[in-house]
Chains A and B, each alone.
Chain A
Amino acid sequence: MAHTGESSALRLGLLVFLSLAVLTGVEFGLALFLNVWQLLLLVAVLKAGLVLYYYMHVYKLFKADDSPDHDSYAYKLATNRMGLWLFFISDSFIFGGLMLARINLLGLTRPELNQLLGLGVTSVLLLSSFFMNRAETAMAHDDRKQFLFSTAVTLTLGLLFLVGVVGVEWQIAPFGPGDGVQGAVFYSMTGFHAFHVLTGVIFLVIILRNGLRGRYSSEKHWGVEACTVYWHFVDVVWIFFYPALYLIGTML
Chain B
Amino acid sequence: MEKKFLWVALGILAVVIIAVGIAGYVNRQNVAFDGSVISPAIEAPGITLTGSTGETVRLSDYRGKVVLVFFGYTSCPDECPATLAILRQVRADLGAEAAEVQVLLVTTDPAQDTPEQLANYLSAFDPAFIGLTGSGSDLEAVYRDYGVTVMEGGETHSTRVYVIDRDGKLGLTLPYGMTPDEILHDLRLLLGSG
Contacts and interface: CB of A to CB of B under 8 A. Distances in A.
Are A and B a genuine interacting pair, yes or no? Answer: yes
Contacts of A16: 5
Contact of B20 (A11, A30, A50): A30
Given A19-B12, A34-B24, A34-B27, A8 B1 contact: yes
Query: Which DSSP category, helix, strand, loop or mixed, fits chain A's interface?
Result: helix
A39 B6 contact: no
Contact of A34 (B1, B2, B6, B20): B20
A8 B9 CA distance: 17
Contact of A23 (B1, B2, B16, B27): B16
B23 interface: yes
A17 B111 CA distance: 73
Nearest to A27: B16
Interface string B9-42: 1001101100110011001000000000000000
Contacts of A12: 1-2, 5
Place the interface of chain B in its size category. 10 to 19
A125 B5 CA distance: 22
Residue of B2, B16, B27, B185 with most partner-chain A CB within 10 A: B16
Contact of A46 (B15, B20, B23): B15
Contact of B19 (A8, A9, A39): A39
Contacts, number: 40
B16 A43 contact: yes
A15 interface: yes
Interface in A1-45: 8-9, 11-12, 15-16, 19, 22-23, 26, 30, 34, 36, 38-39, 42-43
Interface in B163-182: none
A42 B19 contact: yes
A8 B2 contact: yes
A15 B15 contact: no
Nearest to B26: A36
B9 A34 contact: no
A85 interface: no
A39 B27 CA distance: 12
A38 B27 CA distance: 12
A8 B4 CA distance: 13
Nearest to A16: B5
A15 B16 contact: no
B2 A15 contact: yes
B150 to A, nearest CB: 38
Given A11-B2, A36-B27, A19 B19 contact: no
A12 to B, nearest CB: 5
B1 A39 contact: no
A9 B1 CA distance: 8
Interface in A30-75: 30, 34, 36, 38-39, 42-43, 46, 50, 54
Interface of A: 8-9, 11-12, 15-16, 19, 22-23, 26, 30, 34, 36, 38-39, 42-43, 46, 50, 54, 250
13 contacts: A8-B1, A8-B2, A15-B5, A15-B6, A15-B9, A16-B5, A30-B20, A34-B20, A34-B27, A36-B27, A42-B15, A46-B12, A50-B12
10 smallest beta-carbon distances between A and B, as pairs: A36-B23, A19-B9, A46-B12, A39-B23, A12-B2, A15-B5, A42-B19, A12-B1, A12-B5, A39-B19
